[in-house]
Chains A and B, each alone.
Chain A
């Protein structure tokens, strides 16, 4: 029988270690080890109970997931390595949940993290894939900022937005970050400060671009009967990659095609969601994903920003998101999931959403020629 639900699987814990800019004296593997120890402590699971591991990292090479297992002193009977960037968290969650359902593993730790030296980052953005290496790097644009500047400019035209609209989104996320002790940027951000910030690639300014940091995130999954109490369940999860073969305008992701089925699977709609984590590599992509998921049914982006994000009546990216917390490479693909699980377990401290039961999380990434190819989403339910 084909199992379509995610019954019998529980997210038993989530952890993030503090992100840091220009961190010294650490390695990617040491970051992954630190978050591994932290997530097991959070979930009250013993080291020797772990029998599955999933790892995503841009800077792990020449090592692989199994080398990490060796470093961590575990003997997994299930192992995977993921290369989906901003979509890695939900992609690994999908595979790990199915592995637990069929009994291939009982306790799986999902890890993502990166430590960047300046040369690592340059190497990553210049050789992200073959298309980047052959056609984008010769243009000497050094990364995705210019691509998403083009996308943002197009989004502004289509929706009649101006820079202050994206600024208000960044400010709303910064307001959440001010309540998150792990955020790299916690000071108040004003609209004047945003509008006067140095331009990176017009119309994008410094605050539209994620600060590059080193860090790591983790989840631990178990069988549902293994973890009573604060376990978080998966109500629905769907992915769609390369939906338009890079022939669209980039203002619609795979989420647009999967959202109707996702909400059907979950038995709950956007109106029933208590918080949302959206992959925020750039403000424009926050709006694109929220629209694709059905959170902006009338298409009025400006009204949505002012009436839902600014007053925080719809809590979006309650950690502050990568725009304020920082982007730790592939850890960014797990960051929003970790935040949602912390919220649903009542572990979000000063930024805790009262009585949070349902969370929607989306992942996005892997820029091919012009924009990201990957999008996925999961709907989580807390039980505490």
Chain B
């Protein structure tokens, strides 16, 4: 284009030509005369592009005027009410105290409150009491467990590699690190830098190394036939796309094969960004006869364990080594009898077919595995080998239980690494050599920063970055209000949704950076606003004039996340264990699911016992090849890739799960026992108590009448009070309101 001169611009020539092989859009209908003139006028006027709003650093706008200053409790309310005023809508009235308490508990700690927890507030629902509850919940250890969940979706945290074999991996200390970071209100810039480059910080602490598990969470293809360099490229692409989505809200991934069509990112810039990750050590190696499998060889570290456990571990290991040497020696001595044994096996039908066929071969035709099969079969007949082997297995099991846990971490190769543009994204098509660097359309890269991941992390967490703060506050907003101010939370580019409240987004982003990147500060602002405390009842008029509640003309109402549904049901029934942290747990699931994983090396699901059956959903093992069905049915991510916005579906399989999953039947029975065990003696008191455990508020008259009718009905067909109440409890745990934040 020649700005100012349409006639000299190739663009105009190409759209106006009569030659169909040259005319743009190629193969499409020509533009209309009107469209062409519009482009000409634009070029004549200088062909100016305005930079996209999200690539300009936010400034804090003045608070807008509102129709009712008394409604506003904090700046959030000014922006919300101003927008409602413009739309000619009125905000909704306040939510009733019990509904509000439930909403607040679910948003801050992810658990519904028990009746006793809120009775104090209900008796005296003042502003001061509300704020006191907010502070208590922000300080609760359950806060981090709730807020870590959305971050683990972004960081595609899982306890297995994914793909063929889907080997288990140990990276749960990273999950616990995220929980602690939210509980400690770690400043988000530090939170960012430690996850992206904790290993490159000078003398990193153990925690800073664990934090780099973020980018180790990438799935790993362990199939033997896949090529090591392709697997590595796939992992690097996942890391950089995830990093771009999580912090920049950009679809940089589009530039992997070609320059981005809508946003200002070239393919060269893509590979400059990629170069920051290209320095990582190799992580997979082929192994085994015929190269049938890959193993992880990237960095991992042992976590420190208590000295007493360490010495028991060392002692067990020594015993194991000693016994193994004893068995090996016994085997060598036994081999003297092997030839004689082989001669006697002609008619032995108990041998495995592989042994029989190996024995049938001439000695010169036997392969190594044939000989091994024969030798193993022989040794299995020798008591001096078989008995100590059992003991060896027990020792090995003890050793595994005592061994220090490990965690996967990031590490870079030593020495320089040269990266290249990969044309069309193909690893076989190396183009131009590139050095690490950041996209020119965003804020400048400080030349003083190191040219490695640490430099990248500091560039991302810089207050100059127009995106990080906006993208992050938007995500916190979406967790609380159900959708982001920018609804396409994963895309702030030109193809993303426009913000519903641009001023509010920028105000919050600046507030976030200025108040030391405090996540709790932003959450506190949201939950203490008047907008948050509105009733979520929506009249037909509101459904029509504010569909999707985009303008917040009512309080948020939406289904809970999968993990929160599990937690809410366990909590209502009194079964929930609040034990924190540690290795993932294995609550009961349908039999045999792990056996369905292809090439699986550990097919047995070790169902947890004791309180581990009833831990919070965040601790349930995430095996990518067979994720926990009751969670995925409610849209939990199988963690195959970064998920910025979880869908919220409503399906018959969800109904089947809540109705029939034995875990929920157990919860119903526990709730019934709880109700029958309370001091409450009248049916009415018991019904109210049970209802409140499920949905927090007390039942209305109509609801109570219905509950009584149902209780009578169940009494008519039950052999015991417990059976009747269990059926009633099943109903309560299946209510829409039980799995919803109202």
A binds B: no
Using a CB–CB cutoff of 8 Å, the interface residues on chain B facing chain A are none
